[in-house]
Amino acid sequence: MEAFLDFVQANVALAPYAFLGLLILAGFNLPVSEDLMLLSSALIAIKNPHLKYELFAGVYIGAYVSDLICYGFMGRFLGPKIFKIKFFANMINQEKLDKINSFYARFGVATLIVGRFIPFGVRNALFLTAGLGKMNALKFAISDFIACTISCVFFFWLYFTYGESVIDIVKRGNIILFTLFAAGATGWFVHKKLRERAKAKAN
C-alpha cells in the first residue's frame, strides 16, 4: 500500500484513475481500505485543488462499482461456493454473515446505510450477504448508491476541509460504531437462536 501511495503522490495526474482501479479490485475482497483511499485522495486534493473533483470522482465511482462487484459477482454469482475458496473464507466467515443477515431481516436496507460507515471488513460482508440472500438487484443498487454517496461525500469533505487533524477523531468514531454494531448484531443473533430453541422445545 505504501508503494501505491508513493505512486499517486508522485503522479497526481494519474491519481484519480489509480484510486478508481484499486477500489474496484476491493470488490473482489482484496484488502484495500476505502477509508484510506478517501483520506489519501482528499489530502492530495488539498495540495492539488484543480484535481479535487477528479480525485473525488475516482474514489466515489471506484467505491460504488466495488460494492456492485461484491454484491453481484461475489454474492449472487459465486454464492455459497465462496466459502470453498480459502482466500475468501478466511476473511468472511459464516458466523459473521449470519449476524449481518439478522440485521437485514430486522432493519432492511437501513442496514446498508448505517453499515456503510463501519470499516473493519463489515462493509464487504454487508454487500456479500445481500448478494447471498438474493436481495433485489435494483433495490440494492439504489440503496447502496444513496449510502455510498452519503459516506463518500461526508468523508472526502471532512478530510479535504480539516486534513489530517481529524484522523484520530474518525478512528475513534469508527471503533465506537464497530463496537455498537458488533454488540447489536451479537445480541440480536443470540436472541434469535434462543427464540428458535424455545419454539423447538414447545413443539
**Is pLDDT of 121 > 90?**
no
Range ranked top by mean pLDDT from 5-14, 49-58, 165-174:
49-58
C-alpha cell read off for 54: 477528479
As for how many domains the chain has, the answer is 1
pTM for the complete prediction?
0.79
**Is pLDDT of 191 > 90?**
no
CA 72 vs CA 6, 94, 140, 155: distances in Å: 32, 18, 10, 26
**Is pLDDT of 156 > 80?**
yes
List, in order, residues 6 or more apart from 54 with CB less than 8 Å away. Answer: 16
List the single range of 1-5, 50-54, 119-123, 157-161 with lowest mean pLDDT.
119-123
**pLDDT score for 89:** 64
For residue 79, give its domain range.
2-202
Residue environment code for 74-108, b if the CB has 16+ CB neighbours within 10 A, otherwise e: bbbebeeebeeeeebeebbeeebbebbbbbbeeee
Distance CA 31, CA 28 (A): 9
